[in-house]
Amino acid sequence: MAVFVTHSEEETLQIAEAFAKTLEAGDTVLLGGEMGAGKTVFAKGVARGLGVRSEVTSPTYAYINSYEDGRLPLWHFDCYRVPSEAYARALGFEEYFSAGGVCLVEWSENIATLLPEKVKRVQIRKTESGREIEL
């Protein structure tokens, strides 16, 4: 476990970019933290670290955005608005976890029973001076 403190979006992008270099095919990373903590910023940094060239946007309404032009396929989930686990299961969310890429999951609480057994966790907390990122 390591804790980093960042004072800008760019610093968080850099931590995430370095973290991305450690990722392997099949990794699922749960991005925890309240609304506005910086989960999507972190996901953008991971994409950058994997060499994704396309623009990364929040999958708030699409639930899952795919980026397949990097070192590994990247699937970025935002489960905030997923209505139920049954709904997510019906959409085939589980298939992504065993598809040989990297899955980043925001609001994974909402699909708890669909998650694989082995996950990595990134927790982001707002502090007075910035963000605390626990890897």
Ligand X SMILES: Nc1ncnc2c1ncn2[C@@H]1O[C@H](COP(=O)(O)OP(=O)(O)O)[C@@H](O)[C@H]1O
Q: Which residues bind ligand X (CB under 6 A)?
A: 6-9, 11-12, 33, 35-41, 58, 106, 130-131
Closest separation in Å from C-beta 126 to Mg ion: 14
What are the residues whose beta carbons fall under 8 Å from the beta carbon of 78, sequence distance 6 or more?
40, 58, 59, 60, 63, 64, 106, 107
Question: Which amino acid belongs to residue 124?
Answer: I
Instruction: Name the binder of 32 from Mg ion, ligand X, none, CB < 5-8 A by kind.
Output: none
Residues shown for the chain: 135
- Near Mg ion by CB under 5 A, which window of 33-41, 46-54, 62-70, 111-119? 33-41
Does 131 contact Mg ion by CB under 5 A? Answer: no
Q: Determine contact, residues 114/89, Cβ cutoff 8 Å.
A: yes
Q: Which residues bind Mg ion (CB under 5 A)?
A: 39-40, 58, 106
